Amino acid sequence: MTVEPRQSTVWNYAPAPEATDHLRLRDRYGLFIDGAFREPAEGRHEPTINPATEEPIAEIAWAGPADVARALEVARSAQPRWAALPDRERGKYLFRIARLIQERARELAVCETLDGGKPLRESRDVDVPLAAAHFFHYAGWADKLRYGVAAREVAPLGVVAQIVPWNFPLLMAAWKLAPALACGNTAILKPAETTPLTALLLAEICQEAELPPGVVAILPGDGQVGATLVRSPGLDKVAFTGSTAVGRDIQGALAGRGVELTLELGGKSANIVFEDAALDQAVEGIVNGIFFNQGHVCCAGSRLLVQESVMDEVIAKLWARMARLRVGDPLDKNTDVGAINSAEQLARIEALVAAGEAEGAVRRSLACDLPEHGYWFPPTLFTDVAPAHRIAVEEIFGPVVSVLSFRTQAEAIQKANNSRYGLAAGIWTDKGAKAFEVASALRAGVVWQNTYNHFDPTAAFGGYKESGFGREGGPAGLRPYLRVVRSP
């Protein structure tokens, strides 16, 4: 491994930490069932931890089997009344939720950063605005459902279980809840055990919006809560975002039960840079593609494929740009790379990076002063990577990019598709025809041209192969929450 010093920078940034004295956090949060916060049947509470400091933020109730059964019973009872509301009235509730997210944007952004470790500017400028945008978008669809499914007459599925990961807690909750509610379903949301806080603030927002009791339940806890929920009778649909291994387990548990399923799983996405690309622009896209949210992104551009003729130039520009990344306090508005979400995830990143070195790849990691407490990993670049190396095959889910070369367009496509995953890809070229040719040959659900990690509630998102199936977002995101009752 080579640890290289930072290059001198033009600007020195003074600390700019976001204040936290405006937060209205409770010391303890219950389960959100039937429109109210309630104590768990087993009385279990666990602290949610700030990964940047390892200090507890609040005590969180963990659901047990009795709580899951109660939430299902309430959701089943509430669903016919919710579905019977005029479509436009359901849309009004979603609109209220969106407005309240905007009103509490600063609080939500700070909580997301405290609980998850991501830089504040990402929580503030990406997660919270996109969460509101998803509720706004599906509020508009609530009275137009048949136009989103080829003019067919449709009805809601019923009760849906939704399990979201720890990398985008609030955004993933909005991503799943908004279309489900717009379609007339009731929902039980299970947030990740390490990042439940903003889901519980969203429960408060549901109360402020006067959402009818039972329409949304939120059950924090560990993986056992999700397993119990998935295996419980009375479900009509499960939507899961997370690891491929857990996705397989859920699919097996639902087999033969007639329960609908959407899976959005892992990825090892290729970011392809051709020699005719605007290289400075491409380097910015590479940085955004892998170091955004510390690489905790299922569609992160963790495999960088660069045409041989510009390989040296791209690596030099990329390393110079990486040297200017600011790593540290996520609450500082100047921070580019925050804390790793948990000790468990940090250990996985370290193990895979060690494997990359052991297999012969050349590692470059920034020499930066990391805080004494918390979970941290410096932005890292691997060169001399072979397609069979673990760092080129397995999802690292951290700030680590592996660089591979190619000579021809056909070789770039072959290497990009040489993965068991198929979630996303990026193409950097100034030639539109080439971009369309390559995109049509890539087996990836989302392909970006001359940009990366840009999301929009009007666009569908989802993958192929071991990256899952089904689509979320836009009109395509309605179909998984509806059943067709009559064709036109």
Distance CA 94, CA 96 (A): 5
Give the Cα separation of 287 and 273 in Å (integer): 13
- Secondary structure element (H or E) that encloses residue 437, with its range: helix 432-441
Angle subtended by helix axes 87-103 and 169-182, to nearest 10? 160
Closest to 427 measured CA to CA, from 418, 444, 419: 444
Task: Judge whether 466 counts as a catalytic residue.
Answer: no
Task: Please report, for the chain, how many H helices and E strands are present, in that order.
Answer: 15, 23
Alpha carbon dihedral 479, 485, 487, 488, in 10-degree steps, equals: -100
CA-based nearest residue to 349, from 416, 286, 287, 300: 300
d(CA 318, CA 180): 41
> Do 349 and 340 touch, CB atoms closer than 8 A?
yes
Length of the chain measured in residues = 488
| Cα 189 to chain centroid, rounded | 15
Dihedral sign computed on CA atoms, order 360, 365, 367, 368:
negative
Closest C-alpha to 133, from 87, 163, 174: 174
HSE-up of 413 (CA within 13 Å, CB side)? 13
Active-site residue among 298, 394, 395, 472? 298
Q: Does 42 qualify as catalytic in the annotation?
A: no
| Bridge partners (DSSP) listed for residue 364 | 2, 381
Question: H or E segment at 36?
Answer: strand 36-38
Q: Are 247 and 270 in contact (CB under 8 A)?
A: no
Contact 314, 283 (CB under 8 A): yes
Catalytic residue among 18, 260, 264, 472: 264
End-to-end CA distance of the chain: 63
* Active site (catalytic) residues: 264, 298
